Structure 1
Amino acid sequence: MSDTARAFPNTERASKPTKIRDGVRILDIENYAPFLLTVVNNAWQRRTSADYRARFGLGVVDWRVLSMLNIEPGITANRVCEVIHMDKAAASRALSNLMANGLLVFEAEKNDPRKRRWWLSEKGQQVHSEIISAAMKHEAKLVENVSDADFETFLAVMRQMLKNLDP
C-alpha cells in the first residue's frame, strides 16, 4: 500500500505529495501539505512581524501572547503555552517584553511568587485594539480572492489537522 493510500484510505488523492525524478522519489512541494503550511506561515510572519515591529514595537510572538491575554484575562504562562502551542522560553521572552513596554500587569500567587496570572494593562488594551485592526487587515489580504465557502472548508480542514496532531 502506498503512503498516499495509507494517508487517504478511502480516496485516491488527486494532488500527490511526491513524484519521481530520475528514478528517485522526491517531495512535490506544491502538493505536500506540511511544506505549504510552513511557507504560508513564514510569509505571514515576515509580513505581519515587519508591520507590527514598525508600528507597535512588537513582534508576532508578542502579538500572539498579547491577544491570548485579552482572550483569557488572568491567564498563566503555562496556559498561554498550552493554547497557542508555544514553547515556554518564547512565552517568557514575550511576557518580559510586553511587561517592559508597560502592556501587562500580573498577580503572583502567595505560596509561589513565580506563578503569575497576567492581564493587559490599560496601555495593553489600547495597543491590543490598534494591533487587532492591523491583524484583521493582514488576514483580509491573506484570504483575498478565496471564496467564503473555500475559506470555511479551509478552517475546518485546519482544525481537523490540528486535532490529528494534538488530540
Structure 2
Amino acid sequence: MKLMSTEPDNTDAERRRAPSPPDMLRLDSFLPYRLNVLAQVVSEGLARIYSQRFGIGIPEWRIIATLGEFGQMTARDVGAHSRMHKTKVSRAVASLEERGLVERRANEEDRREAFLSLTPAGLKVYAGITPLALGYAERLTEGLAAEDLETLERIIAQLTERSGILQQEPPEIDL
C-alpha cells in the first residue's frame, strides 16, 4: 500500500522552471515576497471571520481596531498607523459612517481634517471583534514554543525597524 505524502509535489513546477543563473530572483525564497504572502494569508483568514460576523472588510476592520485601541484620531493618523493609503481609508470611513459605526467631528483648529471616533454601535463591533482577533492570533501560533514566539516577536520588531530605515534611504539605481 502506497502512503500519500502531505507535501506538495513540486516536480512539475521545477521541470517548468527554466534554468537560471544563481543570482536570479526566486520568489519562493525571497523574504519580502514571503512576508507579503504570509501577511495576506493571515489577513484573509481573519477577514473571513469578521466579514461573516460583522459584514466588514479588511480596511474597515483596521479602522475599527485602530480607533478602538487609540480612541479619537484623524483619518491621516489612522492611515499612517494602519499603513493604508488615504483613498482606502476615506472609502472605509465613509462606509463605516454610513453604517453608524464611526462618527466624524470637525477639527476646530484645522478645518481640512476631522476627528474620527467609534460610535456606541462601533464600540460594540470592536468589543465583538477583539476576542475573535485574539483567538485567531492564538490559534495561528498554536504549537509554537514560547522561545520561538519570543524570537519571532524580536525578529518582526527588528525587520520592521530595518524596513523603516531602508524606506528612508534613496533607491539604488544602476543603469
TM-score range, shorter chain: 0.7 to 0.9
* Equivalent residue, structure 2, for 1:103: 101
Aligned length: 147
Q: 1:99 to 1:82 in 2, by over 3 A?
A: same
Deviations 1:81-115 (A, max 9, x none): 22222111111111111111111122102354441
Gaps of 5+ in 2: 1-17, 166-175
* Higher strand proportion: 1
Amino acid at match of 1:41: A
* Equivalent residue, structure 2, for 1:36: 34
Give matches, 1:148-167, under 5 Å. Answer: 148-167=146-165
* Deviating 4+ runs (over 4 angstroms): none
* Equivalent residue, structure 2, for 1:8: none
The percentage of aligned residue pairs carrying the same residue is 25
* Equivalent residue, structure 2, for 1:3: none
Gaps of 5+ in 1: 1-20
Deviations 1:100-141 (A, max 9, x none): 111112210235444111111111111001011111121122
Using the TM superposition, name which of 94-103 and 21-30 deviates more: 21-30
Q: TM-score, normalised by structure 1?
A: 0.79
Task: Provide the rounded CA distance (Å) in 1 between the counterparts of 2:72 and 2:44.
Answer: 30
* Equivalent residue, structure 1, for 2:81: 83
Give matches, 1:1-167, under 5 Å. Answer: 22-25=19-22, 26-110=24-108, 112-167=110-165
How far residue 31 of structure 1 moved from its aligned partner, in angstroms, is 3.6
Task: Provide the rounded CA distance (Å) in 2 between the counterparts of 1:23 and 1:98.
Answer: 49
How far residue 30 of structure 1 moved from its aligned partner, in angstroms, is 4.5
Structure exhibiting the larger radius of gyration computed from Cα positions:
2
Using the TM superposition, name which of 66-75 and 120-129 deviates more: 66-75
Amino acid at match of 2:21: V
